[in-house]
Amino acid sequence: MRRLWSVYGGYVVGFASLFVIWHLASVYLVSSVLFPPPAVVFKKGVVLLRNGVLCDNLSASLQRILMGFIAGSVLGMPIGLAMGSFRPVRKLLEPYTEFLRFIPSVAMITVAVIWFGIGEASKIFLIIYTTIFIVILNTAAGVSAIAPNKIRAAESLGATRAQIFLHVALPATLPYILTGMRLAMANSFTTIVAAELIAANDGLGKMLWDGRLFMLVDDIFVSLVTLGLLGFAVDRMFRWSIYTFAGKYSPTT
């Protein structure tokens, strides 16, 4: 129990403090109609779970996020590895990467709708756009940060370029790739909500939009809490993965 508390005690205290402050604010500072207390939001969340509304919208958003995130990561990793390993490739692709990554994904929503319509393709495209450049830059940075003496040591032992890539470069770059994916996942949540606010038949963003239209404040806060808790869980998963691989394949050890 002492070990579990040392690991998770801070999270328990942090969330408990958050809900206490939330409750006090909704009771004493803001009207409970506009800022419902946690107990009311929890009850509404249970209702939305039982009737399937929350599950359906959450499932729709998660499917879009995962499809775009996986596609963006799969595309971004080899590009980043190539940019980090070969200077001509980096010189060629760096202007495109730097130019496009400063255009916010929210600004690309209109372009996505024009190109792909208001269906699933436009939303997945936006998640890919959000993910790919972050993964590319972090992967390239990871390759560039590999200690040269590791490469020379492998070469002196007779390793081929393929063996150096598989047993030296890729493991050393993995923590950087996971860090890029962690950052990209956070941006994916922001992007999918913005995309679903504009054009979607379901999803947490659509749930937020409907809550605004019909003044369903409880539904709005259920959506916000769901996004926060889901994002926290996904971020902890990535953080655990980064620490696990960084401890085994740290580029500086």
Span 225-236, pLDDT tens digits: 999 999 898 888
Other Cβ atoms within 10 Å of 175 Cβ, number:
23
> Where residue 251 falls among pLDDT bands split at 50, 70, 90?
very low
Predicted local confidence at residue 73, as pLDDT: 93
Distance between CA atoms of residues 235 and 183, nearest Å: 9
Cα separation values, 205 from 55, 57, 60, 64, 250, Å? 13, 8, 10, 12, 38
Average pLDDT over the chain reads 86
173: tokens are 């770059």
- Model pLDDT for residues 176-225, shown as the tens digit of each residue: 888 899 899 989 988 988 888 876 788 998 999 888 888 889 999 999 99
**pLDDT band at residue 86 under the 50/70/90 scheme:** confident
250 burial type by CB count under 10 A (0-12 exposed, 13-18 middle, 19+ buried): exposed
Instruction: State the pTM of this model.
Output: 0.84
| pLDDT over 90 at 243, yes or no | no
Proportion of the chain above pLDDT 90, given as a percent: 38
DSSP track, the chain: -HHHHHHHHHHHHHHHHHHHHHHHIIIIIS-TTTS--HHHHHHHHHHHHHTTHHHHHHHHHHHHHHHHHHHHHHHHHHHHHHHHH-HHHHHHHHHHHHHHHTS-TGGGHHHHHHHHTTSHHHHHHHHHHHHHHHHHHHHHHHHHTS-HHHHHHHHHTT--HHHHIIIIIHHHHHHHHHHHHHHHHHHHHHHHHHHHHHS-SSSHHHHHHHHHHTT-HHHHHHHHHHHHHHHHHHHHHHHHHHHHHHHHS-TT-
CATH 3.40.50.2020 fits 36-248, yes or no: no
Q: How confident is the model at residue 246 (pLDDT cuts 50, 70, 90)?
A: low
Task: Sort 67 into a burial class: Cβ within 10 Å, 0-12 / 13-18 / 19+.
Answer: middle
What is the rounded average pLDDT of the residues 145-161?
A: 80
Distance separating alpha carbons of residues 60 and 62, to the nearest angstrom: 6
Give the model confidence (pLDDT) of 18-56 as tens digits. 999 999 999 888 887 889 999 999 999 999 999 999 999
Q: How remote is the C-alpha of 102 from its chain's centroid?
A: 18
Q: What pLDDT sits at residue 195?
A: 86
- 64 contact partners, CB below 8 Å, separation of at least 6: 120, 123, 124, 127, 192, 203
Q: pLDDT band at residue 249, thresholds of 50, 70 and 90?
A: very low
Domain boundaries, the chain: 1-35, 36-248
Binned at pLDDT 50, 70 and 90, residue 253 comes out as very low
